[in-house]
Structure 1
Amino acid sequence: MIISSNNLQALISKCWASTKDGTKKLNEAFHQCIQMKNDFPIYLFFSINKSSQFCSVAKLLSDSSYQPPSCIKWDSQDKWDGQFKLDWIFVKDIPNKYFKPLKNKLNDYQSVVHSRDVQEVSTEEGYEMLQFFQNFNQETSILDDFDEIIKIQKKLKLNK
């Protein structure tokens, strides 16, 4: 699934909060995988809003009932519904131009770069995106913004 994101806090805390609609979709996908005993995990491809790039991939490890060990104060707290535990697989910036040729069968064959938040991606395109993350020579990463990371970590410690 494609996730539109705008904060480093999810990377640091290893959890993610979504809108009510996004939470519903993610919960349904997570529980469907459990019911079907599907060995293929759900991967979330993160794209920072208005950045023209993908920045990370995470594996979804829980439904929205996850309670993180520390209290996380999300921006616009009332907008988010539940929290999901994540395992970060790749953290690297990859410009959209590299993903543009990938057409998502589950989104009227539009390019994956034109996906909305929590847009499901077909298995084939998801696999290609994973391969691209694995093989791409990283030049930059969202983690390059150390000053912002330190501020967030301090804020999280204060909220424990």
Structure 2
Amino acid sequence: MQANPKCAQPEAQYLDNYDNFEEVTTTFKCLQKINQPLEPEATFFLIRAPTKDNVHRAIKYGIWTSSSRNNKKLNDAPRPVYLLFNVTQTSHFIGLAKIITEFRDKMHFKYWAEENKWFGSFQIEWVFLKDLPYNELSKIQQSCGKCIHELIDCTQIENAESIYSSFQQQPQKSCMLKSFKELDISEKRKRNERDTNPNFDIQFQEHISVFEQMPFSFSVSSYQRRKQQQFQNQQFQQFQYYYQSPWYGVAQPNFWNAQSQTYPQQEQLQSQKVSNNNAGFYQTQNYNRPHTQNIQQTKHLQKKQLIYNKNSNQESPKKK
């Protein structure tokens, strides 16, 4: 893998037969230093892969990556750093690899099993590639009281020399190479799907542009949530303006600004007509004019007096 703005990918490598272990080790560069001696003061970490697909890529191309938090832990650990690989729902360890570079935040492999989830990479070399049953390391207890296979992903392991010697004594009976034919088929399918899909490259470039700004604090799920929240806020602002506008989104702010600039006198006349036709209580012309109130009161009293006089004239002949 070479540093390139387009993120150059390693060439695909496939073999017709993986039974010959010597031929496999000579084909893949990361396996050429197999069975190398253990360096002093080594730091071991347990790697729990969810499937064999990602370990299959790590064996063929000599790369590995994890979450941003785990990558920072591996990058800050004192060198040399060894990775003890394990696949969940299995009863054995797969092998032991050594990290030979710092974390490369601009080297991205886009053919992992999961789409647009893993970014950046370490370059690794494999020390052992053989199946080691759990019971071979069950005697090596950790300070927390658990066995090694019971620990969570990217946990630092104690007693590195004992683990190395257990791999060294284990015969080369079986290894993960037996399932490489099926894993090669899945890799070909994923390469074909992602190479022929232009939308994948767009999303991939978008994710790596954000990842390279924050390589040790980037999370795909949190980034997608923030992106969705921004989209919802934009939609809310558009709907809010739509329902607040007098013509429900038809009239734009530029329209009202243009109207106010071109016809200021016309707006003043309209506002005056509205105020005269539909005046409020405190905007009436008769407000704070006591003589108008007196006139209305006198008229009301006069009407009452007339009504009283009529009634009195009608009742007077009966009294006689």
* Pairing partner for 1:112 from 148, 154, 172: 148
Distance 1:130 1:152, change over 3 A: farther
Aligned counterpart, 1:100: 138
Deviates more, 1:89-98 or 1:141-150: 141-150
Distance 1:121 1:112, change over 3 A: same
Aligned counterpart, 1:37: none
TM-score (norm 1): 0.78
Aligned counterpart, 2:66: 18
Structure 2 counterparts to residues 29-108 of structure 1, below 5 A: 29=77, 32-33=78-79, 41-65=80-104, 71-105=109-143, 108=144
Deviates more, 1:49-58 or 1:137-146: 137-146
**Counterpart secondary structure, 1:110:** coil
Whether contact under 8 Å (2:109, 2:119) holds in the other structure is: no
Whether contact under 8 Å (1:104, 1:121) holds in the other structure is: yes
Distance 1:67 1:134, change over 3 A: farther
Where in structure 2 are there 5+ consecutive unaligned residues? 1-44, 196-320
The alignment status of 1:137 with 2:171, answered yes or no, reads yes
Distance 1:12 1:153, change over 3 A: farther
Aligned counterpart, 2:185: 151
Query: Could you say which structure has the larger radius of gyration?
Result: 2
- The structure that is helix-richer by fraction is 2
Q: Give the distance between the partners of 2:68 and 2:177, measured in 1 at CA.
A: 28
**Counterpart secondary structure, 1:120:** strand
Q: Deviations over 1:79-137 (max 9, x none)?
A: 324211000111111111111111123xx131112111111012xx2111111111101
Q: Give the distance between the partners of 1:55 and 1:115, measured in 2 at CA.
A: 16
Could you say what the CA RMSD is over the residues aligned between the two structures, in angstroms? Answer: 2.4
- The structure that is strand-richer by fraction is 1
The alignment status of 1:4 with 2:48, answered yes or no, reads yes
Distance 1:87 1:99, change over 3 A: same
Distance 1:71 1:20, change over 3 A: closer
TM-score (norm 2): 0.41
Q: Aligned residue pairs: how many? A: 145
Where in structure 1 are there 5+ consecutive unaligned residues? 34-40
Aligned counterpart, 1:36: none
